[in-house]
Amino acid sequence: MIVARTRWASRAQFFGSGFIFATWGVHIPTVKTHYGVDEAALGLAMLAAGIGALLGLTQASRWIGRQGARNTARFCGAVYALLLAGLLVMPGYAALLGLLAVFGVVTSVFDVAINTEAAQLELRGGKPLMSGMHGMFSLGGMAGAVTGGAALATGMPPQHHLTLVAVAMALVIALSARDMLPKAATAFASTESGFRLPRGALIVLGLLAALGLIAEGAIYDWSVLYLKQELGSPQHQAALAYASFSAAMAAARFSGDAMRARVTPSALLRASALLAAASMTLVLISHAPWLALIGFAGVGVGFANVVPILFAASARVPGVEPARGIAAVSAAAYLGFMAGPPVIGFLAQVSTLTAALYVVVAFAAALAASARYASPD
């Protein structure tokens, strides 16, 4: 029997993940300035995190299979949070790359663990829950961006802010993990290797996830810098780009489970991706920060249900354990997540960040065109 506190424990995990990720996003300009790097080097740092994430995914299902989602989330989530405190204290750029690679490993394993938990709760409860769980991630992202912007506006030293968030989120994750499903509910026995490349239906779901996360990841990693560098907003105001994106995404995800119950996955993906493409175009052709913020909100609504739809589908593939299905699709998604930000960084280096961000429009349009493969209508 699933009790309310088990669902709220899962929601707290997603919230903490979003808060941590947003705090990293808010401080990307801080990291850029602190280490004196350009967009290309910053893109390489993001690539290091992406490579770490991909390595983590090769072991995620094995660890969850042995330890269960609760134990895996408790450990990896706490490390994920605490690594924030190290972002600005590395002795140099090379050390930063190493820290971000580890950051990527624990982030990806934590993501698979909490999505496995959410998938089990959805299956046991017999009704959609995944969009709401990802809504908590977006709500955490909004809260992290707003509090990060407020900390910068009040003059709090960035290192103090990062350390405070690291400790607070490590506690949230550790305490909430106590009420997650017991190990036996999400662990499984297997003699196979911990990771398999996507096959069959998982290939299609993985490709669609990659398209979505290339575009979504670009917003996470570059939106604050875009508002600061391209439109001239001070950093504490530029943080609102991430906040508006996450707030709109959260609102759309909280209503996403009801939509998923009424609309086919392919139709919902198509409409969502078209909205994201149109909204990102508005961001890039506008010259007023307030209009760009409206556009970022539209992008958030557009991308809100892409990952919940695809992860929920990957957990239901016949003959595949939920953790393996999610890990396989996550691997393809993280390939996109890994490739997108550095590609945009290199494009920005040879042109402008504005021109580079048209990649988001292109991939959102490609996702819309391919949405029919998500499920039969």
pLDDT of the chain along its 377 residues, tens only? 456 788 899 999 999 999 998 899 889 889 999 999 888 888 888 888 888 988 887 888 788 878 888 899 999 999 999 999 999 999 999 999 999 999 999 998 998 889 888 878 877 776 777 778 888 988 898 899 889 989 988 999 999 999 999 999 999 999 999 988 876 555 554 444 455 555 667 788 888 888 888 777 788 778 888 898 888 888 788 888 878 888 888 888 888 778 877 888 788 889 999 999 999 999 999 888 999 999 999 999 998 888 777 877 777 777 777 767 776 787 777 677 667 777 788 888 888 889 999 988 998 998 898 887 766 44
Say what the pLDDT of residue 183 is: 66
Say what the pLDDT of residue 10 is: 92
Say what the pLDDT of residue 94 is: 94
In DSSP notation, 98-135 reads HHHHHHHHHHHHHHHHHHHHHHHHHHHHTS--HHHHHH
CA gap 173, 66 in Å, rounded? 20
pTM to 2 decimals?
Answer: 0.74
Say what the pLDDT of residue 191 is: 40
CB atoms within 10 A of CB 335: 20
CA gap 304, 307 in Å, rounded? 7
Contacts of residue 159, Cβ cutoff 8 Å, sequence gap at least 6: 85, 88, 89
Say what the pLDDT of residue 338 is: 67
Q: Which domains does the chain have, with CATH numbers?
A: 4-184+194-373 (1.20.1250.20)
Say what the pLDDT of residue 47 is: 82
Report which DSSP code applies to 208. Answer: H
CA 214 to chain centre: 11
Report which DSSP code applies to 226. Answer: I
| Backbone dihedral region for residue 38 (phi beyond 0: left; psi -120 to 50: alpha; all else: beta) | beta
Token pair 């893109």 in the structure block, residue = 43
